[in-house]
Amino acid sequence: MNVDPADIEFGLNSFGEVATDDDGRILSDAETVRLIIEEAELAESVGVDSFSVGEHYRAGMVDSANHVILAAIAGRTSRIRLGTSVTVLSTQDPVRLYAESATLDAASDGRAQLIVGRASSVESFPLFGYDLADYETLFEEKLDLLTRLMRDQPVTWEGTVRSALDQQIVVPGIEPGSIPTWVGVGGSPQSVIRAARYGLPLMLAIIGGHPGRFAPYADLYRRSLHEFGHPELPVGEHSLGLIAPTDEEAREAHWPLWHRVMTTIGTERGFPAPTPEHYLADTQGGALFVGAPETVAARIADAIRTLGLGRFDLKYDLMHAPRALRERTIRLHGTHVIPRVRELLAEGRR
DSSP characters for 241-257?
EEE-SSHHHHHHHHHHH
CA distance 328 to 334: 10
Q: Which element (helix H / strand E) includes 11?
A: strand 9-14
pLDDT of amino acid 1? 57
Buried b / exposed e across 239-272, counting CB within 10 Å, b at 16+? bbbbbbeebeebbebbbebbeebbeeeeeeeeee
How many C-alpha atoms does 93 have within 13 Å on its Cβ side?
11
Is 70 exceeded by the pLDDT of residue 350? no
Beta bridge partners of 14: 53
| Highest mean predicted confidence (pLDDT) among 2-6, 228-232, 345-349 | 228-232
pLDDT of amino acid 213? 95
Q: Is the peptide bond before 86 cis (omega within 30 degrees of 0)?
A: yes
Mean pLDDT to the nearest integer, 64-81:
98
Higher pLDDT, 249 or 268: 249
Q: How far apart are the first and last CA of the chain?
A: 17
pLDDT of amino acid 190? 96
Query: What single DSSP character describes residue 337?
Result: I
User: How is 39-97 classified by DSSP, letter by letter?
Assistant: HHHHHHHTT-SEEEE----STTB--TTHHHHHHHHHTT-SSSEEEES-EEGGGS-HHHH
Domains, the chain, in order of start with CATH, read 5-349 (3.20.20.30)
pLDDT of amino acid 138? 97
Is 80 exceeded by the pLDDT of residue 37? yes
Work out the mean pLDDT of the chain and round it to a whole number. Answer: 96
